[in-house]
């Protein structure tokens, strides 16, 4: 049984996608849990947005890898930047109030 480099690269990318997804999920649940503890609904919503966004990203990348297509999606590449902007907004609202 021979395995070519393309199949190995796809498998490595799948594993990297899973690690990224789990990291986003862990962070989103952590943010939502902390916000729930302090009764901050708008911070909890940010955690939920992170969970939903990372789930969509994971599904789309995984589908393109299953089809052995290039997983580049320029719309999804900006998702971490959206998380940064939302994080800064959450911090600003937290310290302003």
Instruction: Give residue-wise pLDDT tens across range 57-97.
Output: 889 888 888 887 777 777 777 878 888 887 787 778 777 76
Asked if 83 and 46 touch (Cβ cutoff 8 Å), the reply is: no
* Host domain of residue 80: 5-96
Question: Total structural domains in the chain?
Answer: 1
Question: Rounded to an integer, what distance in angstroms lies between the CA atom of residue 23 and that of residue 31?
Answer: 12
The 3-class SS string of 51-84 reads HHHHHHHHHHHHHHHHCCCCCCCHHHHCHHHHHH
* Residue 46, pLDDT above cutoff 70: yes
* pLDDT at residue 1, rounded to an integer: 63
Residue 40, pLDDT above cutoff 80: no
Residue 25 DSSP SS3: helix
């Amino acid at each position: 049984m021979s395995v070519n480099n393309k199949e190995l690269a796809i498998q490595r990318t799948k594993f990297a996608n899973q690690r990224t997804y789990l990291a986003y999920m862990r962070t989103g649940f952590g943010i939502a849990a902390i916000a729930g503890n302090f009764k901050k609904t708008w911070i909890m919503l940010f955690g939920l947005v992170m969970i939903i966004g990372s789930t969509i990203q994971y599904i789309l990348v995984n589908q393109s890898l299953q089809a052995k297509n290039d997983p580049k999606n320029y719309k999804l590449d900006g998702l971490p930047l959206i998380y940064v902007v939302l994080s800064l907004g959450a911090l600003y609202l937290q310290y302003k109030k």
